[in-house]
A and B are shown apart, each in its own frame.
Chain A
Amino acid sequence: MHELSIAQSIVDSAREHATLNGGRRVVRIGVRVGEISGVAVEALEFCFGMTVQDTDMDGAALELERIPVRFRCSRCAHEFHPVEFLGQCPTCGSDGATMIAGDELGLSFLELE
């Protein structure tokens, strides 16, 4: 359960940006959560609510975008969601594929008022 510290980091970063933008109020925060980032989305939502409660950011919304694991075939460049990380390309059958998405854990946007 590290979602509480993740929530705290999100709130800290959002507050820092809001201060840099003239001390405006944060109303919404967009976060990208990769499928293998190790973050449980429901737990993060819960912890975020707890973290902002009774602060200047109380009522701010957290918008989580889940990013599924994606592989790209190194032969035909086809992109696909692998079953259990199997790298075999469903289009050309080639075995070489590299992971191009799924482990991100990043802020994507803020809405300031």
Chain B
Amino acid sequence: MAERVEVRQSVLKENDRIAGELREALAARQILCLNLISSPGAGKTSILESTLDALRGTSRRVAVLTGDIQTERDADRLRRFGFPALQITTGGTCHLDASMVRRALEEMPLDGLDVLFIENVGNLVCPASYDLGEDAKVVVLSVAEGDDKPLKYPGIFRRARLMLLHKIDLLPYTRFSREAAVADARRVNPEIEVLETSCLAEPGLGAWLRWIEGRLEEKRQAGRPARV
């Protein structure tokens, strides 16, 4: 006779456990961790290139882990800015999981960093399920993809703290409605923050860079021991 046992736990319990350890390791060093997720080609690496370029003249120390199914190309692009960048080649897997990040961090010391960026594998579905220990998931939606994506891929818009409406310079050449995209994203996730960005033209990445500073400040305030 079979016996039925109730089990209430996430299917991804082991991933979540490792992500929890990563989150603690990052918190102990007050490092902000951002997990960038988008469909292939939306502009994750380009955004990170411009971000690293902007940060190299500052006192901020950052590093990037970048996930790719096949190649080392994104890490090669990102290493040109003098910050550590490590490729995680998943060999077919369509997302990063926490154990891949943990393994990569064995080769990339966290000490002294302010921000750890993770570029996920280009995919709007699978990466949404995996906690990597990040402070926030950032979904990049480029205007060439169409404004219907938030309702078609609700999972990631639900879990992201920030949506970047990227390649906004292309707006005049598309039928993308920023109002519709924002309204739909907020149906799925009323709290989602939205910024418009472009790597090639105005308004640039200023709002994104300020957002990162804001989150870093927030994390350091929260991590500061209460005064007695």
Complex CA distance for A69 and B13, rounded to whole angstroms: 22
B10 at the interface (CB under 8 A from A): yes
| A105-B10 contact in complex given A2-B126, A37-B129, A87-B187, C-beta closer than 8 Å | yes
Complex CA distance for A99 and B7, rounded to whole angstroms: 24
Query: Which residue of the partner chain, among A17, A38, A111, contacts B155 with CB atoms under 8 Å?
Result: A38
Residues of chain B within 8 A (CB-CB) of A12 are 14
Residues of chain A within 8 A (CB-CB) of B129 are 2, 6, 37-39, 105
Residues of B contacting A: mostly? mixed
- With CB as the reference atom, state the residue of chain A lying closest to B124: A38
- CB of A28 to closest CB in B, whole Å: 7
Query: Which residue of the partner chain, among B2, B93, B151, B155, contacts A37 with CB atoms under 8 Å?
Result: B155
- With CB as the reference atom, state the residue of chain B lying closest to A28: B2
Residues of chain B within 8 A (CB-CB) of A107 are 7-11
Interface size on B, residues (CB 8 A): 33
| A110-B126 contact in complex given A85-B151, A85-B188, C-beta closer than 8 Å | no
B206 at the interface (CB under 8 A from A): no
Cross-chain pairs A/B with CB under 8 angstroms, 12 sampled:
A2-B125, A9-B14, A87-B190, A98-B190, A99-B158, A103-B158, A103-B159, A107-B7, A108-B8, A111-B5, A112-B2, A112-B5
Give residues in A with beta carbon < 8 Å to B: 1-2, 5-6, 9-10, 12-13, 17, 21, 24, 27-28, 31, 36-39, 69, 84-87, 98-99, 103, 105-113
